[in-house]
Structure 1
Amino acid sequence: MTTIPLAEDLGRARTAADFAAVIALLDVDLNNVAARKQELEQAEDRAIFGDGDLGEVRAALARTNAAIALIEKTIEAAHKRRAAAAQSEARADIVALGEEIAAKAEALTQRWQTANWLIEQLRLELFEADALSRAIATANGRLDAAGAAELKINLTTIRRAAMAGPRAAVPARLSRRAIQADKLLLSFLSPGGALDPRPALGAPVEGVKSKFIPVASERG
């Protein structure tokens, strides 16, 4: 009965890498047997001229040729099984990728839902803050009229103090749309932003008048 070379290794092989390793070993065996064949062919030439047992050499050569044929056939079969394993692994990778992006899509949906909820909460807070700001501004006007300016509330100071604090670090990789959205959100928190319009030139800021007020020129 002819023994298949590296039969146990082939039987244990499951992945494309396993089959590639077995094929490499079979190639080594094939090279060794091919070298043995070359030696036997040289021995056959010598035996023809009486140097050696020609029948024995030719029998050994026949066994070597059979071994080469078997190894080559085994290598061919191993290549087919390796290709099939690689194809199966590729399909498994695609399935795994599909499952991965499905999970990410679910997480993304949750993130957008959270972002939507936070934006709506922000809008509600802005509405409430605006109502309070208008009420305080009205009261400030009455205090001015009553000569009690020292009781007025500085809305800019309140807003800036309330919005001061640490900011989340921007990721190293961020899409252009995300950068634009982040800048828009930060504009609500930054001085001079959407909620903090710059004062008119020369107007007092938090009770301090600018030193760089343009002076009207006098014409002689």
Structure 2
Amino acid sequence: MTPSPHAEALGRARTAADFAAVIALLDSDLKNAAARKLELEKAKGRAMFGRGDLAATRAALSEANAVVALLEKTREAANARRAAAQGEACVDIAALADEIRANAAALDERWRMAQWLIEQLRQQLFDADALRRAVATANSQLDAAGVANLKINPTAIRRAAVTGRRATAPARLSAAAIQADKMLLSLLSPGGALDPRPALGAPVGGIAARFSLRGRGRG
């Protein structure tokens, strides 16, 4: 039997759009084949009255009928496969819709948790700042009383408390998330928002620096 027209394209087709394109080609071929069949039927009628080669016309008509039948069968198969592809696409879309709804719910939960944690962080910072100021006041009183050895260094306490394991940022992170992560880490890092360093050449520990950077070069 003659191979099905557009069999290669039909074999490559995967989506409903692919099958629709093949069906359009088959419809065009079927239209031409039907027109050819009609002409041969007319020629057969004329040949029966001695106006043409009846045997040759019958053979050509038989071949035309086979072509039409093959095209119709191929189109029927293509329509069935297109319907199946459309069904699969609907299933895929439904699954995608379920997935995006689940992700949206998880995203909402994460942001709510982030908001709660940030508010908790703010409250802890407020409390820590109040305690730091209380320690600073007590240190001043200890200085005045001449017992500086009893003073507590709040900066050392904070630095020791915030050292520890850091979460590893994922390889793929948006620019906004990277910026937010840097802001959060600056609260824990030396020299960050909560750890101001003295200006260059400023008194350190109540005693003026003996040498400035300029003076060091003189030996």
Instruction: Please state how far the C-alpha of 1:210 moved relative to its aligned partner.
Output: 5.7
Residue 158 of structure 1: aligned partner: 157
Q: Could you say if the C-alpha distance between residues 59 and 72 of structure 1 is closer, same or farther in structure 2, counting changes exceeding 3 Å?
A: same
Percentage identity across paired residues of the two chains: 58
| 2:106 maps to 1:84 | no
3-state SS in 1 of match to 2:199: coil
1:140-189 C-alpha deviation (Å, 9 max, x unpaired): 00111111111111111111110111111111111111111111101100
3-state SS in 1 of match to 2:116: helix
Residue 8 of structure 2: aligned partner: none
When the two chains are superposed, the root-mean-square deviation of aligned CA atoms in Å is: 3.6
Q: Could you say if the C-alpha distance between residues 110 and 144 of structure 1 is closer, same or farther in structure 2, counting changes exceeding 3 Å?
A: same
Q: Which runs of 5+ in 2 are unaligned?
A: 1-13, 23-56
Residue 13 of structure 1: aligned partner: none
Residue 49 of structure 1: aligned partner: none
Instruction: Please state how far the C-alpha of 1:89 moved relative to its aligned partner.
Output: 2.1
Query: 5 Å matches for 1:52-201?
Result: 68-201=67-200
Structure 2 counterpart of 1:101, one-letter code: I
Q: Could you say if the C-alpha distance between residues 189 and 171 of structure 1 is closer, same or farther in structure 2, counting changes exceeding 3 Å?
A: same
Taking structure 1 as the reference length, what is the TM-score of the superposition?
Answer: 0.64
Q: What CA distance in whole angstroms lies between the structure 2 residues aligned with 1:167 and 1:201? A: 30
Structure 2 counterpart of 1:150, one-letter code: N
Q: Could you say if the C-alpha distance between residues 208 and 178 of structure 1 is closer, same or farther in structure 2, counting changes exceeding 3 Å?
A: farther
Taking structure 2 as the reference length, what is the TM-score of the superposition?
Answer: 0.65
Residue 39 of structure 1: aligned partner: none
1:114-164 C-alpha deviation (Å, 9 max, x unpaired): 101111110111111011101100000011111111111111111111011
Structure 2 counterpart of 1:77, one-letter code: E
Q: Which runs of 5+ in 1 are unaligned?
A: 1-15, 24-57
